[in-house]
Amino acid sequence: MLQATGAVGLAAFAGCLGGGDEAEDLDELLEDDPDEFETLEIGHWWTAGGEEAAFEALVEGFEAEYPDIEVDSSPSPGGAGSALEADIRNRVVDQNPPSTFQIWPGQALIDYTDEDLLYDIEEDVWSDEMKEAYLDGPIEVSRPAGEFVAVPINIHRLNNLFYNVDVVDDAGVDPESLESPSDLLEAMEAVDDAGSVGMAQQTQSAWSTMQLWAQVLLGEYGVDAYESFIEGDVEAVESEVRDTLELVVEYREYFNEDASSLNDWDDASDYINRGDAAFFHQGDWAAGQYEGEDGFEYGEDWDHVPFPGTDGMYALNMDSFVFPKHNPSPNATVRFLQYAGTADAQERFNPHKGSIPPRTDVSDEAFTPFLQDQMADFEASTEQPPSMAHGLAVIPSIQTNIEGAFANFIDNWDVDETYDDLVNSFD
């Protein structure tokens, strides 16, 4: 039985509105009075770990550039947008969106583009200079339906395994030696024997386990099996899907006991800061939390390896900002989107966020050694599988169904039922 975590689909809401047809033409809106600025309201969920600092650094840079524009930060706390999604959908229903909001680019935008709810921003935002500076991948996901509708601000990596150096040393485990997700299970057993938590995890909301399973699938069976899955050919990889779900059930033995009552990913991540757990899988936004703690040093106190079996892969997740129709502050919004696309914005935001910039001309001097290592891995990567948990790879209805399958999985840990739910997710 699938549990629809995302409530009613946006398309259903937007259908009631008649889409964005009634919205004014963007050129006319911007010509009215280009120097008249309404308050810029920015919807986002960056309140956890180092993410708040990243958002603040971005806003600071924008305010320095445009001192006449007032910024109203509008947070919907909840990892992976678990709360923002519903908030924004309601605002869209009321034709009362914020000026801009954080959203994954790529397939996650499809409900919005299908219903014509976003302005085409190629002419006003995507200058030739910006197009030349951006990597091709981020450009492509900015126009999932042809027109440019988003400005990506970062590139996150998902196939990370963070660890506390003292805890793995005490257990006699060398993370560099782990070649597969099955090896990681053995390492967690050793950590457990040494008296620490094997893997820190939050299982209150489903996305972290969905994302963990995706890395286990990539690590154990490679990109072809993963691609077959995201393309909906689940039955072709039935044994791979079942095996890796089984492995995650076995991982669960080594999760912290309070996994199901932690509020969010950063509470789980804290196990690494405190030295209470050996391993933590998460996107590299977790690094922002480690970098932000004084006296907690990369390489000495915490460290990172690609998730076992995924060496050479850079599993992708990105964030972007968009220009919703019925916009309360057109001239301020256009300037914010232009700013988000600059090297200055990306140099301020990404070091705190634990991500690397989608522009190629951002100096790496502002980045910590961890992120410089990620940049080198990105450059050297031979495969860059897109995220299903964070909307790059699958359209919102499918992403919601898969997340629903994992909402049941983290409740009953039943591989047969979850496999069926996953097959049905693509119907």
**Where does this chain bind ligand GAL (CB under 6 A)?**
45-46, 51, 79-81, 104, 156, 265, 283, 285, 317, 319, 390
Are 375 and 358 in contact by the 8 Å Cβ rule? The answer is no
We find the least distance from the C-beta atom of residue 205 to ligand GAL, in angstroms, to be 10
Interacting residues of 119 by C-beta distance below 8 A, sequence separation 6+: 23, 26, 149, 323, 324, 325, 327
Are 285 and 64 in contact by the 8 Å Cβ rule? The answer is no
User: 178 or 268, CB closer to ligand GAL?
Assistant: 268
User: 283 or 404, CB closer to ligand GAL?
Assistant: 283
d(CA 317, CA 58): 19
We find the least distance from the C-beta atom of residue 276 to ligand GAL, in angstroms, to be 21
Q: Rg of the Cα trace of the chain? A: 21
What region, left, alpha or beta, does residue 18 occupy, with left being phi > 0 and alpha being psi -120 to 50 degrees?
A: left
We find the least distance from the C-beta atom of residue 111 to ligand GAL, in angstroms, to be 16
Paired with 200 in beta bridges are 280
Give the residue closest to ligand GAL by C-beta.
79
d(CA 20, CA 311): 44
d(CA 71, CA 49): 22
User: 240 or 270, CB closer to ligand GAL?
Assistant: 270
User: 219 or 288, CB closer to ligand GAL?
Assistant: 288
Q: How many CA atoms lie within 13 A of 215 on its CB side?
A: 32
Q: Where are the alpha helices (DSSP H) in 9-135?
A: 10-17, 26-32, 51-65, 84-93, 110-114, 128-133
We find the least distance from the C-beta atom of residue 157 to ligand GAL, in angstroms, to be 11
We find the least distance from the C-beta atom of residue 166 to ligand GAL, in angstroms, to be 26
10 Å CB burial of residue 21 (0-12, 13-18, 19+) is: exposed
We find the least distance from the C-beta atom of residue 342 to ligand GAL, in angstroms, to be 19
We find the least distance from the C-beta atom of residue 248 to ligand GAL, in angstroms, to be 19
User: 317 or 418, CB closer to ligand GAL?
Assistant: 317
User: 255 or 349, CB closer to ligand GAL?
Assistant: 349
User: 62 or 104, CB closer to ligand GAL?
Assistant: 104
User: 13 or 285, CB closer to ligand GAL?
Assistant: 285
User: 156 or 325, CB closer to ligand GAL?
Assistant: 156
We find the least distance from the C-beta atom of residue 102 to ligand GAL, in angstroms, to be 8
d(CA 80, CA 102): 11
DSSP per-residue string spanning 100-141: EEEE--GGGGHHHHHTT-B---TTTT--HHHHHHB-HHHHHH
Tokens representing residue 198 in the block = 């094997």
We find the least distance from the C-beta atom of residue 412 to ligand GAL, in angstroms, to be 25
d(CA 301, CA 306): 17
